[in-house]
């Protein structure tokens, strides 16, 4: 009886403890796997055009996920899929969260997949060896191939190179992506916002062409290397609705490498040493005027617009034209405008310089010839583009007319002698005295008429000078109002522009292109410091919010008042009034 009771108790204890041990085993196995983060690849040796799969797994209850952004330095991430599953075995229950990434190498050599961290657990780094691309050249039988074409293999520094890359496909493509073209010692400008596609017939069969064009400007002499670029393309195919219901599979991705290109970049030739270096296919200079140059009026502005066009240069490469001062003319240059026109052959740059010219007095003025030297890349010689000298005729401030002289009579009348007549009580009239009186009267009349004419002309000239002063004064007032408005709004770029425009009225004979020129002409330490503060504000990456332009405005206003005082002391009409 005692043995029976003992056996019953043992069976009861086993029934109670068995599920308890089972639960404990599950919990212990779960915690055993919780601290594991593993990373693996399906292949660790590949060629540059191959892809491979990276698998990272962790416990499904992790609160974060790996950061894969560090992979983008050496690899292109073609896909990133996340999944999770639960597995029960004799060793316990395993909960897993898995990330599978399809990767493609960006370069050859020994690459490293870095360690990843999830909830303080760290995976191991993995080394990937990437070999050169297959030496088998693409043939016309390939369904998809890539081609690269360079306009030149030898150029001068800063000369344009045209690069064309094409995908030629016999099948439709659902997706294409090219590795970015980046060069260390050259400027690369895409000539299209996106690749263009068109159909071309090759060997009697239609082919889909996707084309990208680039303009490359090498900045240093030596050898410029365009590395092999990888084109990832996905041919169109029917979707496997069972294995890939959402169309995310990237197993049909083709990676097509281009061939490496090497370009010889020569330094500036000796013929161009010390001159402006502008290597171009063609360069021209044209000009337009806002009015005819034959009968300009004193004090009225005329606008000259010069356009420089260069095939093979950007607008930023074209330098400003040299300008020479001309006595009697005041120049007010506007901000130059640079534009670039992109074509399938390259860049066509344009620089437009606009200048307002105000004649200070009448007469004939000659503007000197405008020249710009450039290098013809086709003929390999220096050339000069030019505008001929221009003559301007200004009405006003006329010179004095030549004095009028009495003309002699055409025929001299014969004088006949007559007998003297004696008059009682009178003296004989002297003929020389009579002739002198007549001549004196005629000269007095002529001088009187000339004096009246001269006075009238001087009055007209004075009125024209006053009109010219009023025109300049009105323009100065308008610019001063714009300057004050920019200061009130704390608009630093507009304030700088209007300060320069106003200064050209304040000091018309000076050459003013920067705020430093205004500071030197102002001759005040406070003004120099205020203008320097404005420049620092414009070019600083951390502009100050507490900038107050009122002091600068007061200092500039003092310069205006001093200018008026100087004009009055010289007996001239003030240029402007407050």
pLDDT attached to residue 470 = 63
CA distance 163 to 213: 6
- What angle in degrees, to the nearest 10, is found between the helix axes of 550-569 and 525-539? 140
**Element holding 372 (H helix, E strand):** strand 370-376
Q: Is residue 487 part of a domain?
A: yes
Closest CA to 302 of 312, 291, 294: 291
Query: Tokens 């983008």 — which residue?
Result: 72
Phi, psi of 327 (to 5 degrees): -60, 135
How much is the pTM? Answer: 0.52
- Cβ atoms 349, 284 nearer than 8 A: no
Q: Are residues 81 and 170 in the same domain?
A: no
Write the pLDDT tens digit of every residue in 281-314.
Answer: 999 999 999 998 888 888 888 999 999 999 999 9
Domain boundary among 100, 131, 162: 131
Least confident of 312-316, 374-378, 572-576: 572-576
Q: Are residues 124 and 202 in the same domain?
A: no
34, burial (CB in 10 Å: exposed 0-12, middle 13-18, buried 19+): middle
- Structural domains in the chain (count): 4
Q: Is residue 284 part of a domain?
A: yes
Q: Is residue 19 part of a domain?
A: no
Q: Is residue 423 part of a domain?
A: no
pLDDT attached to residue 13 = 57
CATH number, domain of 108, equals: 2.60.40
Per the DSSP assignment, residues forming a β-bridge with 256 are 231
Is the confidence at residue 518, as pLDDT, over 60? Answer: yes
Domain containing 103 equals 33-131
Q: Are residues 220 and 278 in the same domain?
A: no
Tell me what the mean pLDDT of segment 252-263 comes to.
86
pLDDT category of residue 104 using cuts at 50, 70 and 90: confident
CA distance 208 to 169: 5
CA distance 288 to 291: 9
- The highest-confidence range among 93-107, 195-209, 308-322, 420-434, by mean pLDDT, is 308-322
Least confident of 56-70, 514-528, 538-552: 538-552
CA distance 58 to 119: 10
Domain boundary among 395, 413, 434: 395
Write the pLDDT tens digit of every residue in 430-444.
Answer: 677 777 778 887 888
Is the confidence at residue 469, as pLDDT, over 70? Answer: no
Q: Are residues 262 and 274 in the same domain?
A: no
Q: Are residues 303 and 372 in the same domain?
A: yes
Q: Are residues 102 and 69 in the same domain?
A: yes
Q: Is residue 435 part of a domain?
A: no
Q: Is residue 285 part of a domain?
A: yes
What per-residue string of b and e applies to 68-98 under the rule 16 or more CB within 10 Å gives b?
Answer: beebeebbbebeeeeeeeeeeeeebebbbbe
pLDDT category of residue 484 using cuts at 50, 70 and 90: confident
Write the pLDDT tens digit of every residue in 33-62.
Answer: 445 788 888 878 887 767 788 999 887 777
Q: Which three-class secondary structure state does DSSP give residue 196? A: strand
Contacts of 421 (CB under 8 A, 6+ apart): none
Is the confidence at residue 374, as pLDDT, over 90? Answer: yes
CA distance 66 to 119: 9
Q: Are residues 341 and 383 in the same domain?
A: yes
pLDDT category of residue 151 using cuts at 50, 70 and 90: very high
Domain boundary among 96, 131, 166: 131
Q: Is residue 2 part of a domain?
A: no
Query: Tokens 């919990």 — which residue?
Result: 27
Q: Are residues 328 and 223 in the same domain?
A: no
Is the confidence at residue 426, as pLDDT, over 50? Answer: no
Within the chain, what is the greatest distance between any pair of CA atoms? 207
Q: Are residues 150 and 121 in the same domain?
A: no
Q: Is residue 458 part of a domain?
A: yes
Task: Name the residue with higher pLDDT: 380 or 489.
Answer: 380
Q: Are residues 173 and 94 in the same domain?
A: no
Q: Are residues 231 and 281 in the same domain?
A: no
Q: Are residues 104 and 163 in the same domain?
A: no
């Amino acid at each position: 009886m005692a043995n029976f009771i003992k056996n019953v108790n043992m069976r009861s204890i086993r029934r109670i403890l068995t599920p308890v041990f089972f639960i404990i085993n599950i919990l212990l196995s779960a915690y055993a796997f919780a601290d594991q983060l593993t990373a693996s690849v399906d292949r660790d040796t590949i060629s540059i055009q191959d892809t491979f799969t990276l698998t990272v797994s962790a416990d499904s209850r992790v609160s974060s996920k790996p950061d894969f952004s560090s992979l983008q330095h050496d690899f292109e991430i073609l896909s990133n899929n996340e999944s999770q599953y639960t597995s029960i075995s004799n060793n316990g229950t395993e909960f897993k969260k898995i990330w599978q990434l399809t990767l493609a190498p960006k370069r050859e050599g020994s690459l490293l997949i870095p360690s990843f961290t999830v909830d303080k657990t760290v995976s191991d780094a993995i080394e990937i060896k990437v070999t050169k691309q297959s030496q088998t050249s693409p043939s016309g039988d390939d369904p998809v191939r890539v081609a690269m074409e360079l306009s030149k293999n030898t150029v001068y520094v800063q000369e344009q190179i045209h690069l064309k890359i094409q995908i030629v496909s016999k099948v439709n493509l659902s997706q294409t992506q090219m590795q970015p073209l980046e060069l260390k010692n050259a400027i690369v400008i895409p000539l299209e916002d996106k690749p263009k596609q068109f159909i071309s017939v090759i060997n009697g069969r239609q082919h889909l062409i996707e084309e990208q064009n680039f303009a490359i400007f090498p900045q240093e002499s030596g050898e410029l290397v365009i590395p092999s670029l990888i084109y990832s393309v996905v041919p169109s195919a029917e979707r496997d609705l069972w294995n890939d219901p959402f169309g995310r599979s990237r197993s049909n991705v083709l990676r097509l490498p281009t061939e490496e290109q090497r370009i010889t970049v020569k330094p500036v030739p000796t013929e161009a040493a010390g001159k402006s270096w502008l290597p171009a296919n063609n360069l021209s200079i044209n000009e337009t005027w806002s009015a005819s140059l034959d009968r300009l009026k004193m004090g009225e502005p005329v606008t000259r617009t010069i356009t420089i066009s260069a095939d093979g240069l950007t607008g930023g490469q074209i330098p400003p034209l040299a300008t020479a001062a001309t006595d009697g003319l005041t120049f007010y240059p506007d901000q130059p405008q640079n534009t670039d026109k992109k074509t399938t052959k390259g860049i066509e740059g344009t620089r437009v310089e606009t200048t307002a010219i105000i004649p200070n007095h009448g007469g004939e003025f000659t503007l000197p010839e405008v020249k710009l030297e450039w290098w013809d890349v086709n003929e390999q010689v220096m050339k000069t583009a030019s505008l001929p000298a221009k003559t301007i005729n200004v009405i006003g401030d006329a010179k004095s007319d030549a004095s009028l002289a009495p003309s002699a009579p055409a025929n001299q009348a014969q004088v006949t002698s007559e007998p003297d007549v004696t008059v009682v009580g009178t003296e004989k009239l002297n003929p020389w005295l009579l002739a002198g009186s007549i001549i004196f009267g005629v000269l007095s009349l002529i001088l009187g008429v000339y004096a009246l004419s001269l006075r009238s002309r001087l009055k007209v000239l004075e009125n024209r000078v006053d009109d010219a002063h009023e025109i300049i004064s009105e323009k100065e007032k308008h610019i001063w109002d714009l300057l004050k408005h920019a200061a009130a709004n704390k608009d630093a770029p507009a304030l700088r522009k209007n300060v320069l425009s106003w200064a050209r009225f304040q000091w018309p004979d000076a050459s003013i292109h920067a705020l430093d020129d205004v500071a030197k002409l102002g001759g005040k330490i406070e003004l120099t410091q205020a203008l320097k503060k404005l420049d620092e504000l414009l070019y600083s990456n951390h502009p100050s919010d507490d900038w107050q332009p009122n002091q600068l405005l007061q200092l500039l206003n003092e310069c205006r008042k001093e200018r008026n005082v100087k004009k009055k002391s010289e007996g001239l009409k003030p240029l402007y009034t407050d």
